[in-house]
Structure 1
Amino acid sequence: MNNRYSRQLLYSNIGQSGQDQLAEKTVLIVGVGALGSLSSEMLTRAGVKKLILIDRDFVELTNLQRQTLYTELDAKDKVPKAIAAKERLEQINSQVELEVHVAHADGHLLESLAEKADLILDGTDNFETRMLINDVAYKIGKPWIYAACVEASYSSAAFIPGETPCFRCLTPLLPTSSLTCDTAGIISPAVHMAVSHQVTTALKILTGQLGAQYYLHIGNIWDHDHMKADISKMTEASCPTCQLKEFPELNRLESDAMKFCGRDMIQVINQRLTETVVKETLEQAHIAYKQTPYFIEFNYNDSRIISFSNGRMLMHNVVSLNKARTIVNQLFG
């Protein structure tokens, strides 16, 4: 069979019918770091119709150990991950449509993007964004698949509005730890295990074959441990997301500053800090800066600051939200 999908077509659980369905599906991937870069590559190779990618970060050298789409040149040029992912995925499969957003995944943007998708994949690294994805998915009735990994551990589960409990219902059962990739490290096989479960489940959903197989998968690849828990009967009667339909994360007023999980970095969002405003302020203060096609980079005291044109700033070596706001006030009034 001289067909790029020939080996997938030969697999009886997909075949021509499943491949035809994949070719009509759109998947939203929230975050294209370790999880999202690998899941986007797998789905691109599998032949979905379209991928929508959203990520707020740029490629760094420390990403390359586990984030499979990126290169040393991407890290050297500090290319936004969504842009670098698009460039690489286009080289893998030019038939797949790619829509990318270099942006913070707030509720409004997530909801507008999810409306266009058949499925949402979690590629994030923090609990708060997953809770927001959960609210968006259950508000508009779209399935989503959670995945997480740290050290050698991994976990994944699918959440289907109207059929399964939601992510919020399962929070007492989900692995809880203050450990992150930046504090405890991670090995690449743990990423691959989490994404293998996630993308396999995605293929089942996209081809209409998930059925009633609703499990939370948890494992540790270093110890070769794996378990699955049936989640089908774990719905919380008073859950504000899937039962009361209150969607608290969507209705929560987002702070203008937010700490990144496990990092000495703060994200600040202030729409008045446009590219023009930032450049004029830095020039007036005689602060040297470097401009790329994607952002402005400069140093202020002991902080390295990345400023995007939409008023979003990443402040490195800042651990306090108050310090981040102080820097903004000192520089921009």
Structure 2
Amino acid sequence: MNRYSRQTLFSPIGIDGQEKIRKKHVLIVGMGALGSAIAETLTRAGVGKLTIIDRDYVEESNLQRQLLYSERDAQERVPKAEAAKKRLNEINQDVDVGSIVGEADAQLLESVAPDMDLIMDGTDNFETRFIMNDIAHKFRIPWIFGSCVGSFGSAFTIIPGETPCLQCLMKKLPMNGQTCDTVGIIAPTVQMVTAYQTAEALKILSENNNALRNTYVTFDLWQNQTLSIKADATKNPDCYTCGHHPTYPNLHYEVATKTAVLCGRNTVQIRPSGCSNISIEGLTIQWRKAGYEVSGNPYLVSVLKGDYRMVLFKDGRALIHGTNDVAMAKKVYHSLIG
């Protein structure tokens, strides 16, 4: 216990709380900026078991804010889940770290969720977050949302049966669609979001739920602004995720994003669920400000990102040219669309 002596001296946790933390199993979905910082904090805090999931590999542009990775990891393109596991084992051998290199889709999350005490959001897209939201409510597991871009961040703790879910929240507090690839991000934004997330995690893991934050917190570090919003009123009794008659829609195949490799074209088609008209003009302005080469017409927009070209249609459908790899195509899509 000497290792955690400063943590146990904190009276709300104490020795009893530390023992509770040691017996808990946490799932972290996404091992980018948020996920890697969350994983390091919980590993140093002595959580009993971590399961980490990520589909991506380490790149040089990650090193500015993703704390667990080295230049060698980027040079060798090591999968983030494996690079993170190696580093976490070096930090604290007492923590059982399990890594999964793969897509955090409904099937995978349903298979691992029953063993979890807490789910942590380290993702970079709302498609995966809505799947996590349904999984958490189906299995009655607390989960902690976090999001950041530029100098702006937000966090919210979701307790099934008590708080509004992410679907309820986003209908009242819509996101702006910006991504780190279009407006950038500074490392302190990540650290601030994960400070909120991991503080809430320690409360849940040590069974101090009475201390949980009951507001949606959002901030802009550059503009020195912080806002804490009471979210209780956003809870919808008819919500398909957290309402009286849940159906967990994001776990159903028919509402999932569809992908198809186009034969002989080195192209992947992505069709998100619930396609509707989008603002091609707004995206064109955003991408040009970020320095991307953009062209198009009233029906579609084409944007060049590195070795890949994405053509986006007004109905939300996209063609990712330059790859037959579905995972890479989805990575390009989410980096530009959000």
Q: Which runs of 5+ in 2 are unaligned?
A: 261-266, 271-305, 312-316, 326-338
Given that residues 89 and 95 in structure 2 are in contact (C-alpha distance below 8 angstroms), is that contact kept between their aligned partners in structure 1?
Answer: yes
Task: Give the 3 Å change call, closer, same or farther, for CA 328–227 of structure 1 in structure 2.
Answer: closer
Does residue 242 (structure 1) correspond to residue 242 (structure 2)? The answer is yes
Report the alpha carbon displacement of residue 230 of structure 1 after superposing the two structures with TM: 1.7
Change (3 A) 1:106 1:197: same
Aligned to 1:286: none
Distance between the aligned counterparts of 2:224 and 2:18, measured in 1? 32
Looking at structure 2, the residues matched to 327 and 22 of structure 1 have their Cα atoms a distance apart, in angstroms, of 43
Indicate the residue corresponding to 1:123 in structure 2. Answer: 122
Pair 1:3 & 2:12 matched: no
- Mapped pair 1:252 → 2:253: yes
Residue 214 of structure 2 is matched in structure 1 by 214
- For 1:114 and 1:161, how far apart are their aligned partners in 2? 14
Mapping 1:253-268, distance limit 5 Å: 253=254, 254-257=256-259
AA aligned to 2:91 is I
Q: Which amino acid aligns with 1:119?
A: L
Distance 1:223 1:7 in 2: 34
- Equivalent position SS for 2:242: coil
CA distance in 1, matches of 2:322, 2:230: 48
Instruction: Name the CA shift for 1:194/1:175 in 2 (closer, same or farther; >3 Å).
Output: farther
Query: Where do 1:39-54 residues align within 5 Å?
Result: 39-54=38-53
In 1, distance between residues paired with 2:129 and 2:48?
25
1:286-332 Cα deviation digits (max 9, x unpaired) = xxxxxxxxxxxxxxxxxxxxxxxxxxxxx951414764589649xxx
Instruction: Report the Cα offset of residue 199 of structure 1.
Output: 0.4
Unpaired runs of 5+ residues, structure 1, are 259-264, 269-314
Deviations 1:124-180 (A, max 9, x none): 011111111001111111110000000001100011111111110001333511210
Q: Distance in 2 between matches of 1:13 and 1:42?
A: 18
Structure 2 counterpart of 1:25, one-letter code: K
Length, aligned pairs only = 276
Partner residue in 1 for 2:97 = 98
SS at 1:172 equivalent? helix
Identity of aligned residues (%): 45
What is aligned with 1:195?
194
State the one-letter code of the partner of 1:245. P
Q: State yes or no: 1:163 paired with 2:162.
A: yes
Are the structure 2 counterparts of residues 193 and 267 from structure 1 closer, same or farther at C-alpha, using a change threshold of 3 Å? farther
Corresponding position: 1:223 with 2:223: yes
Structure 1 residue 210 displacement after superposition: 2.2
Q: Give the aligned partner of residue 262 of structure 1.
A: none
Report how far residue 229 of structure 1 moved. 1.3
Conserved 8 A contact 2:28-2:35: yes
Residues 173 and 266 (structure 1), Cα distance of their counterparts in 2 relative to 1, 3 Å cut: farther
For 2:307 and 2:18, how far apart are their aligned partners in 1? 44
Instruction: Give the 5 Å matches for 1:291-306.
Output: none
Pairwise mapping of residues 21-100 of structure 1 onto structure 2 (< 5 A)?
21-100=20-99
1:210–1:183 Cα change, 3 Å: same
C-alpha spacing 1:326/1:123, structure 2 compared with 1 (3 Å): closer
Secondary structure at 1:4 match in 2: helix
Contact map agreement 1:266 1:318 (CA 8 A) in 2: no
1:2-25 Cα distance to aligned partner (Å, 9 max, x none): 811111011111110110100000
Q: Matches of 2:154 and 2:240 in 1, distance apart?
A: 24
RMSD over aligned CA atoms reads 2.3
Residues in 1 aligned to 2:19 and 2:51: alpha-carbon distance in whole angstroms: 19
| TM-score, normalised relative to structure 2 | 0.77
Give the SS at the match of 2:236. coil
